[in-house]
Structure 1
Amino acid sequence: MNDENLITFNQMQPERHKELSRLGGIASGQTRARRAYMKTAAREMQLRMVYFKDADADLKAEWAEFQRWRRSEKKRRVNAGKRGRKA
Structure 2
Amino acid sequence: MITVPGLHGQVTTIDLRDESTARGRVINVDAFMNIRLEKVLYRDRRGRVSSMDDLFITDHMNIIETIETQLAKIHHVRNFGASGGCKEYSKKK
**TM-score of the superposed pair, with normalisation by structure 1:** 0.34
Larger Rg: 1
